[in-house]
């Protein structure tokens, strides 16, 4: 019948009629579900759009994640006992699945990335976290920890190396993340000002975007060296007048934010970056640096008694006065924050002695450390339930949770990133490679130093820029250090 053939032609998939019929059916079904208080179908177009972007523009999603991370909010599914950061972690999961699917299907990924020393160090850390998750005293907690670490590494390290083959994407990542963070800084400073800049309120001021002032300040210190390089060497980084002015703006806002965060560990981390900048300027080799550190440890061990009594004599506690706040850094007798940190470390060492090889399991410290506290070491902020935080160290925490190999895997990452960065700084074939690698490693050094006093790599706010910085070093070494000629679009030929 001609009429039926015409109808069949109009309803053929891909035709305008078929498209509008689908839209009408979707709208009608959605209206029906709305009357029944069922709203999930309203998200369907959004999910289709996200999947389309993930498949065809995954690099853009990575840059979107850079911008959205500072604004991400934690949502808890009480019945499942699961917390997730929105919108970052769902997108991370989808990108991770896409990355590994394309990898196993023989897609665009360059397998030599896996052979790079930094990649080997990260894979060793991932492998040991997985092994100790299987031997964990709390397997569900540890498996969750491993999965979170796995998606951070998959997207912002391994896929990140692919994204950062373009210097333009490196600049975009820096500016997008930091522009968004400036919004959080203004929000934090406004809240803090409403409480008359009380030091005691600094910890709560970044909420709900950052859980506390520690991770907030750690992220600011991570990016500050990059923008110091941007403002003093704009031609090297091919900055336009607009991005140059924006770099000054970000540097000023981040500096104020870091000072008013009242976070002593972040200040120490930035101080370590300054010291290392002097060392790099003198072109000191890594083995010379290691020998100097070893000699310093020996000398300090001879004077440990004198140093201990000097520290014990300091009674200055943290307060609103910035000078006093700095002096309280080495008060180990009356400052509650410092003494509680020592309590956590001592508890971690006792945990390590019981399980020196496999540890108690990744992510389990906060649930297990309470019985290992001594009453003589507990402070006014200690808790017998052990429900207030972690080991306050990126190195001691893994020692308790994953044994000695766990701590060793972290130092392996630190050493390889320092080694490759110093090679690029001293022997890079272009000014861009030498200066960008210096800016990145100085940012990482601020976190490495901060990591002796706090640990935040289980949070998207810190983990995403941290692994992105490592991936930038890897990309510089693999793709940007071959020839000296810089192309107009910002890539290296």
The predicted pLDDT at position 100 comes to 86
Contact, 461 vs 449, CB < 8 A? no
Mean pLDDT of 194-220: 90
Residue 6 has pLDDT above 80, yes or no: no
Question: For 311-330, how does the pLDDT look when each residue is reduced to its tens digit (9 = 90+)?
Answer: 555 555 555 555 555 555 55
Residue 162 has pLDDT above 60, yes or no: yes
Is residue 50 a part of any domain in this protein? Answer: no
Contacts of 225 (CB under 8 A, 6+ apart): 273, 277, 439, 442, 443, 446
Q: How many domains does the chain have?
A: 1
Band of pLDDT at residue 491, cut at 50, 70 and 90: very low
- Residue 421 is part of which domain span? 112-479
Is residue 385 a part of any domain in this protein? Answer: yes
Residue 215 has pLDDT above 80, yes or no: yes
Contact, 122 vs 468, CB < 8 A? no
Residue 14 has pLDDT above 50, yes or no: no
For residue 58, give Cα distances in angstroms to 102, 149, 167.
12, 20, 17
Sign of CA dihedral 451, 456, 462, 467: positive
Is residue 314 a part of any domain in this protein? Answer: yes
Is residue 375 a part of any domain in this protein? Answer: yes
14 burial (CB, 10 Å; 0-12 / 13-18 / 19+) is: exposed
pTM for this predicted structure: 0.86
Distance, in Å, from the CA atom of 91 to the CA atom of 152, rounded to the nearest integer, reads 11
Is residue 221 a part of any domain in this protein? Answer: yes
The predicted pLDDT at position 236 comes to 93
Contacts of 414 (CB under 8 A, 6+ apart): 448
- Single out the residue of 475, 411, 393, 451 nearest to residue 157, CA to CA: 475
Contacts of 385 (CB under 8 A, 6+ apart): 370
101 burial (CB, 10 Å; 0-12 / 13-18 / 19+) is: exposed
Is residue 38 a part of any domain in this protein? Answer: no
Distance, in Å, from the CA atom of 102 to the CA atom of 196, rounded to the nearest integer, reads 53
Contacts of 42 (CB under 8 A, 6+ apart): 30, 34
Contacts of 73 (CB under 8 A, 6+ apart): 85, 86, 208, 209
Residue 240 has pLDDT above 50, yes or no: yes
Question: For 87-120, how does the pLDDT look when each residue is reduced to its tens digit (9 = 90+)?
Answer: 888 889 889 988 888 888 776 677 889 999 999 9
Is residue 95 a part of any domain in this protein? Answer: no
Distance, in Å, from the CA atom of 397 to the CA atom of 341, rounded to the nearest integer, reads 12
The predicted pLDDT at position 340 comes to 85
Is residue 3 a part of any domain in this protein? Answer: no
Distance, in Å, from the CA atom of 331 to the CA atom of 163, rounded to the nearest integer, reads 45
């Amino acid at each position: 019948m001609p009429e039926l053939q015409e109808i069949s032609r109009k309803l053929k998939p891909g035709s305008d009629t078929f498209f509008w019929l689908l839209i009408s059916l979707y709208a009608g079904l959605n209206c029906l579900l709305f009357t029944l208080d069922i709203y999930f179908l309203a998200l369907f177009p959004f999910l289709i759009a996200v999947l389309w972007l993930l498949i065809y523009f995954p690099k853009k999603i990575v840059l979107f994640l850079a911008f959205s991370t500072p604004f991400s909010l934690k949502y808890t599914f009480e019945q499942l006992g699961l917390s997730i950061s929105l919108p970052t972690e769902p997108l991370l999961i989808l990108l991770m699945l896409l990355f590994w699917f394309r990898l196993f299907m023989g897609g665009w990924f360059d397998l030599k990335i896996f052979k790079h020393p930094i990649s080997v160090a990260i894979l060793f850390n991932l492998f040991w976290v997985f092994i100790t998750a299987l031997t964990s005293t709390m397997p569900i907690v540890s498996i969750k920890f491993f999965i979170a670490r796995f998606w951070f590494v998959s997207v912002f390290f391994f896929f990140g190396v692919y994204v950062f083959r373009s210097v333009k994407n490196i600049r975009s990542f820096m500016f997008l993340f930091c522009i968004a963070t400036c919004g959080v800084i203004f929000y934090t400073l406004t809240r803090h000002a409403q409480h008359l800049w009380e030091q005691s309120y600094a910890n709560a001021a970044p909420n709900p975007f950052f859980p506390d002032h520690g991770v907030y300040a750690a992220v600011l210190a991570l990016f500050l060296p990059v923008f110091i390089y941007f403002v003093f060497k704009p031609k090297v980084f091919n900055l336009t007048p607009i991005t140059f002015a924006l770099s000054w703006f970000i540097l000023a806002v981040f500096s104020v934010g870091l000072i008013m965060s009242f976070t002593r560990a972040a200040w120490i981390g930035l101080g370590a970056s300054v010291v290392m900048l002097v060392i790099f300027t003198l072109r000191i080799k890594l083995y010379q640096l290691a020998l100097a550190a070893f000699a310093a440890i020996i000398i300090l061990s001879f004077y440990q008694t004198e140093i201990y009594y000097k520290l014990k004599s300091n009674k200055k506690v943290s307060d609103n006065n910035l000078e006093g706040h700095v002096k309280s850094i080495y008060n180990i007798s009356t400052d509650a924050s410092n003494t509680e940190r020592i309590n956590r470390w001592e508890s971690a060492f006792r945990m390590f002695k019981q399980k020196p090889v496999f540890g108690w399991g990744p992510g389990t410290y906060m649930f297990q450390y309470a019985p290992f506290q001594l009453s003589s070491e507990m402070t006014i902020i200690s808790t017998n339930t052990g429900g207030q935080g972690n080991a306050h160290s990126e190195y001691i925490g893994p020692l308790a949770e994953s044994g000695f190999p766990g701590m060793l895997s972290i130092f392996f990452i630190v050493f390889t990133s320092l080694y490759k960065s110093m090679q690029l700084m001293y022997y890079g074939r272009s000014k861009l490679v030498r200066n960008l690698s210096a800016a990145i490693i100085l940012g990482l050094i601020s976190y490495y130093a901060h990591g002796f006093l706090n640990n935040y790599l289980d949070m998207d706010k810190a983990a995403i820029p941290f692994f992105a910085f490592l991936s930038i070093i890897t990309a510089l070494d693999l793709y940007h250090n071959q020839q000296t000629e810089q192309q107009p679009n910002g890539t290296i030929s």
